Structure 1
Amino acid sequence: MVTWTATDVVGNTSTIEQKVIVVDNTLPILQAPEDIIIEATSIDNNEVDLGESSATDNGEIISISNDAPEFFTLGDTIITWVVSDSSENTASDTQLVSVVDTTSPEILPVDDLTYEATAMDVNIVYLDNLSVSDIQEVTITNDAPEFFPLGETLVTWTATDVVGNTSTTEQKVIVVDTTTPDLTIPEDQIVEATSIEETLVEIGEAEANDITGISSITNNAPEVFSLGSTVVTWASIDNNGNSTTYEQTITVVDTTSPSIFVPADIVAEAVDPVLNFIELGDATTYDHVGVDSITNDRPDSFSFGSTTVTWTAVDTSGNISTGTQIVTIVDTTMPEIIAPSDVTVEAAGTSNTVVDTGDATIYDIIQVDSVTSDSPDTFPLGETVITWTATDSSGNSATATQTVTVVDTTAPSVTAPDSIEVEATSIDNTVEIGNPVYDDLVEIISVTSDSPDTFP
């Protein structure tokens, strides 16, 4: 507002106001920051330093603003800058912000793989996925074969994002053969010794297999085996030098009893009931390993009858064999018998003479079982031969004879008839003289007289 004042000479004044309006219709001049091309760090969360705009005005700049987002997405974003002056005049300018992705995907370090072979050239190896870092979706490929051969294969991995940025890395896949061959050895054996240190043993055959093939199968078995346990080590080596060893135990045992051949059975004549001294002979033996001792349980002397002598052979492994020898002391010698002396006795009758014959004298080295005779209870007149028999406990018998003679040396008794006196009847008289009375121990053979036929 402009105030006008009029003053006269006497000092009187008058005032009036005049409004002077100065207007600003001139737009400010705005210069947006330069366009920006920035490498993306994410798809939609990229921070961008836009820079500073510049503005001039004939008045006062009140504000400069823009419509930039807090974070920028991948691609182009147009930022509009606006400047306002104190007269509310505004001007604008644009700035192009291009968020681009020219960065190849980041492949995190990948470890080489070592895989145990299961075959020579058809090994299936499962490769782990790569760890890849990228702001966009990434396609991962590799040139791995379907099957891996034994040895080293170089696999190239390629990571490609959606805008075509690529990264590659290499991974070694090493198919190794560290597996020892499968080795099957014969079973442990227990064999009977045929010698103390030279037993032949068929130990059997080992079998081996391996994916690379077997180079050799060996063992350290001796040609012959000694008594006891021997450990045989089998070794199998494949074509990559891997080896497997197993042990087979060969045990040579001696469980065979020695052979024993005892002397022949002996039958000897007894010379005494208990004191019979016999030479048994010697036993012979055989054993694959060796005989330690030969003994028997013979008594010092042998008694009448059978005695079983047990021979025992013990080999060096403690195996025992026995054999028996029977020593039989027999009595085939007849006993000695001496009959009583011959006897002559006076007859007591024709057939009923009792005679004491006496006793026989006997001897036997073992024992007399019985002494008998065939002597009758009574003896007849004349000679009777008695047989005496001695039988020992072994059934041997001997005989001797004794003669018993019954004699009659006693005259018979006879009594003549009584004397007779008869009257003569003639010159030659017949007279009945009667009979005598007679007796004898034995039979009267005859009684005679010298009587005439007639008496004068």
Structure 2
Amino acid sequence: MEGVTDNYDLDVGQMVVSNNVDLYTVGSYQVVFKAYDDSHNSLEKTMNVYVIDTTPPTYDGYFDFAIGITSNTSFDFTDKITNEIDNSGEAVTVYQIDCNVDGNTPGNYTATIGIKDAYGNEAIQIIQIEVIDHTAPTFDYINTQTIEVDQYQDIDWTTIIENLFEDSDTLVTLEEISDDVLYDTLGEYYVVVKATDASLNSKSQTFLVEVVDTQAPVITLNGDSIITLEAGDIYLNEGATCTDNYDDACTVSIGGFTVDYGTVGEYYIEYIAEDSSGNIGRLKREVIVIDTITPTFEVSDFIIQVGHDEINFFYHIGLIEENSDDELIKEVISNNVDYFVVGDYEVILKVSDQSGNSTTKTILVSVIDTIAPEFEIPEILDYEVGFNEVIDWTTFISNIVENSLTEVVITITENVNFNIIGSNRVEYTLSDGNGNSNTQSMRVVVRDTTSPTFDNIPNQTIELGEYETFDWTTLITNIEDNYSEIFFLSEIKDDVDYSRVGSYLVIVEVKDNYSNTVTQEFTVNVVDTTKPLVMLNPSVDTITVGSEYIDAGVIYSDLSEVTLEVDNLVDVDTPGTYLITYTVTDASGNITIKKRYVTVKEASPTVEFILNNAVTTIKINETFIDTGCVVKINDQTFDCTVKEYHINNQEEGIYYIIYTYTYEGVEYEYYRFIFVTEDGFIPNNYFFKKEEEEEGDLS
């Protein structure tokens, strides 16, 4: 602090009391000074300090450079400013003010960049930019080109450049650098084309051009193109000539010459010519084989037996002549042969080729018959004596074979007696309508082989002890036989034990005079179905309470051992009816049950009904009022209930009410009678009980 004086001391002391100035940070600050003398008198002063920033930022960068052609339309060159620093230490803003760069057009352009600090101090930098085109135009790869010889005189090969691309907006120039193609001479040639842009960037490409010959020689036939021949004739080939668009001379050869002269049809001869370039020309000549000549054949007449199998006339056709190799068609035009009727018949046969040429012939077929009918009959037949049915002897004839359709006449001679056992003959003669006959005989034997019959004997059931023995043949009934009248009856088997329950087999037999037998077996079941005989012993079965009851039991008898079971439920101390059941069972399970009923009762009680007073004589439509009753039993009084109520107060008459009371299971009843009259007086003949009237005059 300068200029400090004191009124006394020449030297004045001074000091800085406070100082917060930051010289690197823009702002307003205060510094406080203090001065004092030797007498300790002091003075303070405050000074304002202002820190400001008026210096633009500093920076480095790239301020002159080149870029390639680009399709971008917007550019930002702020990244070219580097190391931007401000003395305030605060952030610096870099921004682009303007830019006139056209990325598609080569040339020199500028961009203006601003660098500003936080306090508005700004530096301006002009950047020089050159747009340079270093890229040549591009186009598709050109493949080898093939052209026909003599087809063109000259070709502008730049016209085949496809998909040309140039990255700038400048014009591209197309040109042929080299073209040595000889358009009239076969061979391989090279062509060079080039594309150049305005910056003289260029792209060239070399490709191969092949001049080729792909046209086939032209063939001309000698003679007609269509030849017609009769089947079997031969065609002599007349050949052909040729010319070519490039070769001076050419040769014709036959590629295919396959004609079947024996078969009608259309055939082709193929002529082939090939030039020096391998081009092949082809031409065909048509050869048509026709057939207009009829075939010939031989066939003989036939003599056959009636019934002969149908003739395959085609098989007998022979010596066939045909000019073609066709498969011939054989037909029967007319055939009225009846193989089962004797006679002469005509048959017309026809042979045709595939072209419709045909020949017919008529032959004679003679049908004759010299064969007798054939048939079969059994050698022997057996019949039972007594056979009495009518026999049709023709039914035994089988497998009749007659070669003609004439009627076969059957003649039978027989004298068989079926009532006599023995051997007989039956003779058969079969004749056809043409006089041929065949005779055979058959043996018929009459025998007795039939067993007697008798009624079916069902299984028998007998009671145990019913029989000691039994003749079971007595069950054989209604014996019948076809011939015999004498029969022999016997028991083949009888093992019945009549004293033991069980099942036993019995077999009986009947035999006739010719030892024909019949047997029958059946089962004999010895059963015990009789229940034991059981009777109650006499007894007193009604007792009073507290009395002793003595069970008198039962007596019983049976053919087998028995068991007795007694179920006694009698309670002598309680009134009621009790059941004693006696069950007797024998060895076969037959059961007899006897029941005894025992009544235990007290002495009969004294029962007295007492009707309450009521008016029991009423007029029609008057209401009866029931006053009820009580009952006295052994000096005890109980209310009784109404059991039935029979009163109609709409009609004159005598009606009643039944009162009831049940005591110890016994129901007691009592009646009250009600009189309904027109005038309310009791008729002379009505019964009247005084105790039923209420007080009042009831006369």
Query: Which protein, 1 or 2, shows the higher relative CO under an 8 Å CA cutoff with sep ≥ 6?
Result: 1
Fold match by TM threshold 0.5: no
State TM-score, norm by structure 1.
Answer: 0.45
State TM-score, norm by structure 2.
Answer: 0.31
